[in-house]
Amino acid sequence: MDMQRRVTIVIAACLAGLLGSYLYAGILNPLKVEWLLQEGDLLQHFLGWHYYRHEPWDWPIGALHTYGTEVRSSIVFTDSLPLLAIPLKLIQAWLPDPFQYQGLASVAHLMLNAIAACLIFTRLKMSPIAAIALSLVVAIMPAVLFRGPGGAGHESLMAHWTFLFAIYLVLFRTDPGWKARCQWSLMLTLAVLVHFYLFLLVGLLWSLWWLLRTSQQYRLKGLAYHRQWWLLWGAYSLLQPLIILFVMWGVGYLHSGGESPGADGFGFYSAELVAYFNAYSFLAGIISASVALPVWVPGIGGQYEGMSYVGAGIMALWLMALLLFIRRPIHIPTTYRWPVKGLGALAIGLFIFALSDKVVIGPYTVNLPLPWPESLKAILRASGRMVWVLMYLSIFLAGAILVQRLTPRNATLAALCVLVIQLFDLQHWHHYFHTRSQQAATYHMAEDPRFTGWDSSGLQAALSQRQSLHITQADDIVGMLPLAWLAGQHGMAVNVAYVARITPTIIHQAVAPAQQALMAGQPDPSVVYAITNPETVQACNLVNMQCIVTPMATFAWQLTSEETQ
């Protein structure tokens, strides 16, 4: 890589970081954590990390034991971004307590998105300014921002850089040497440490690359060429998946007591056929991501998973590219012809899967009778997320057409126009996330009526002197997250946790021992009980039981002999 490309990529990353710092200004301070009490999924992610950092190392290294003592789980199933949680645990003794990385991770994802996009645009021979402009557009696509803080609250899914780097490898790593294989091993491992859905996309792209390179070697050399080479290639084909399976085991993908949720969500968490052009935000505080284009409410509520409005700037880019292509189709070099065709076929297949078993346009729905396997539908219920690959490939293809059909000066002007139009179209969208982060910065737990009474000296003393907090009922498991927060702030374990693949049956089994102990009049003296069901409140009548009533729960604990004196 020459110096100009390096400088271009660094500038793109820095500018994306500045934009991210504006969007998430209020939540970047890792020492400020109270704002997470307003969140659902983000609070879950923080709690997984917070409990994990204080636990001793074990195998699998991502296993959780104190966050949900009655629920077998790991940081994978709390979506706590193992890519950061594991290395930070190595230095947790030197980190402030508490410490959150949700805000900083969100900005880092935007910067890495810009780097991956810029790598591709510069390889397409785009001028530095044009590459930077389009990389910024890609870095902060609405589909990215929607996933993070202020939006759906799933910052790990902002890491589109995982499969963007993989697209780069498919296109430009035509030599299947050790360098390319090591790069793929790194990308697969990183994706595993970020999120399963992103790993799946990277895994599919690796499979495509492997197939293309295998067929290439066969066409060029045949099976008779260097039998030892083919044996090594076969060994790599076997070892690469085995290595990733071992990483998944170590991180905690197999450490779960949850159940498969089944395929019930497939078809609900899908994508609309014209999702790229619908600016409906799916967020309570803002109706549209666009300042000018019309929106419509999708016919299925769960289609927020397929939220992928591209913005007016990208629409302008696509229109320019289409007109230029109609005038004269572009030439794809022979080296890239099969990778481009393979990526196109994969992206279209993923888009069709994203639609699930129906085609939806606004309120209109037409069944799509495709025989997707039940096991696949159960694993990938949120099929709407699969629309991303086609969206980005279309952007890169449009950029390639601009480079081939326009002079460098005109291509640069076109890219700058795309950036300006995009920023104008999404100005309210960006302001919304900035405002949300600023509001988060002004949040104070003491002013939240949900937590009235939590600062009482008696409750604080009881929490500091006991080992566990046991919730007696958790029908609303997300609503119970602040109770896990309270336990975590006092170094206590909690009996039930909000984790992926948890079901009402598992939750009931987890809280049943606490409820039965109180109903039988045999409370554990090392436990503070958070009573959330009326029939269990009678435990406060037991001898030596102390209770404090708060809006969220009645806290009860048995006084020790020292406390009764």
CB 139 within 8 Å of CB 426: no
CB 474 within 8 Å of CB 514: no
Q: What does the block give as tokens for 495?
A: 């009996």
Who contacts 159 (Cβ-Cβ below 8 Å, separation ≥6)?
A: 109, 112, 113, 194, 195, 198
pLDDT in tens, the chain (565 residues): 688 999 999 999 999 999 999 999 999 999 999 999 998 889 999 999 999 999 999 999 999 999 999 998 999 999 999 999 999 999 999 999 999 999 999 999 999 999 999 999 999 999 999 999 999 999 999 999 999 999 999 999 999 999 999 999 999 998 888 899 999 999 999 999 999 999 999 999 999 999 998 887 766 666 555 666 677 778 888 999 999 999 999 999 998 766 666 557 888 999 999 999 999 999 988 999 999 899 999 888 899 999 999 999 999 999 999 999 998 887 777 788 889 999 999 999 999 999 998 888 888 888 888 888 888 888 888 999 999 999 999 999 999 999 999 999 999 999 999 999 999 999 999 999 999 999 999 999 989 999 999 999 999 999 999 999 999 988 888 889 999 999 999 999 999 999 888 888 888 999 999 999 988 889 999 999 999 888 788 888 888 889 999 999 999 998 876 766 5
Best CA proximity match to 411, nearest among 132, 133, 130: 130
Who contacts 14 (Cβ-Cβ below 8 Å, separation ≥6)?
A: 111
Q: How far is Cα 556 from Cα 458, in angstroms, rounded to an integer?
A: 11
Q: How far is Cα 532 from Cα 535, in angstroms, rounded to an integer?
A: 9
∠ CA 11-15-19, nearest 5°, is 170
Query: Which residues, listed in sequence order, are joined to residue 464 by a DSSP beta bridge?
Result: none
For residue 372, CA distances in Å to 44, 117, 183, 262 come to 32, 32, 32, 13
Best CA proximity match to 319, nearest among 235, 414, 404: 414
Dihedral sign for Cα 228, 229, 232, 233, please: negative
Q: What does the block give as tokens for 543?
A: 């001898």
φ, ψ dihedrals at 471, nearest 5°: -90, 135
Q: How far is Cα 558 from Cα 548, in angstroms, rounded to an integer?
A: 12
**Most distant CA pair in the chain, distance:** 91
Q: What share of the chain is helix, strand, coil (3-state, %, to 5)?
A: 60, 5, 35
CB atoms within 10 A of CB 454: 22
Q: Pairing between strand 493-494 and 468-471?
A: parallel
DSSP secondary structure letter of residue 446: G
pTM for the model stands at 0.94
DSSP string, 523-534: --TTEEEEE-SG
Best CA proximity match to 53, nearest among 94, 15, 20, 3: 94
CA 388 from chain center: how many Å? 13
- Reduced to 3 states (helix: H, G, I; strand: E, B; else coil), residue 330 is coil
Q: How far is Cα 486 from Cα 482, in angstroms, rounded to an integer?
A: 6
User: Can you say whether residue 226 is alpha, beta or left, with left for phi > 0 and alpha for psi between -120 and 50 degrees?
Assistant: left
129 by Cβ neighbours in 10 Å (0-12 / 13-18 / 19+) ranks as: middle
CB 528 within 8 Å of CB 463: yes
- Reduced to 3 states (helix: H, G, I; strand: E, B; else coil), residue 468 is strand
Q: What does the block give as tokens for 242?
A: 């085995």
∠ CA 24-29-32, nearest 5°, is 110
Alpha helices per DSSP H over 72-195: 82-90, 102-123, 128-139, 142-147, 161-172, 178-192
Residue type, 38: Q
Q: Which residue has the tokens 């990308």?
A: 187
Q: Which residue has the tokens 């001898």?
A: 543
Q: Cα(first)–Cα(last) distance of the chain, in Å?
A: 75
